[in-house]
Amino acid sequence: MPESLQQFFEARRQSVRKAREFATRALDGWGLTSRTEDIRLCVSELATNAVLHGTARGHGFLVRLDIDDNCVRLEVHDSRRQQPVVREPTATDISGRGLTLVAALSDEWGVRDRTPLGKIIWSRFKTVGDAVHPISRSGSDHDDQPMEVR
Interval 9-27: pLDDT, tens: 999 999 999 999 999 999 9
Structure confidence at residue 34 (pLDDT)? 86
pLDDT tens across 99-143, in order? 999 999 999 999 999 998 899 999 999 987 655 555 443 334 444
Structure confidence at residue 144 (pLDDT)? 40
Q: In what order do the strands lie in the sheet with 60-67?
A: 3-10, 60-67, 71-78, 119-126, 108-113
Structure confidence at residue 130 (pLDDT)? 58
pLDDT tens across 47-69, in order? 999 999 999 889 999 999 999 98
Contact indicator for 54, 81 with CB cutoff of 8 Å: no
Question: Distance (Å, rounded) from C-alpha 3 to C-alpha 102?
Answer: 22
> To 10 degrees, the CA torsion angle through 7, 75, 86, 57?
-40
**Is the pLDDT score of 85 beyond 50?**
yes
Structure confidence at residue 132 (pLDDT)? 57
Structure confidence at residue 142 (pLDDT)? 40
Structure confidence at residue 138 (pLDDT)? 35
- Count of positions (residues) in the chain: 150
Structure confidence at residue 129 (pLDDT)? 63
Structure confidence at residue 74 (pLDDT)? 98
Structure confidence at residue 93 (pLDDT)? 65
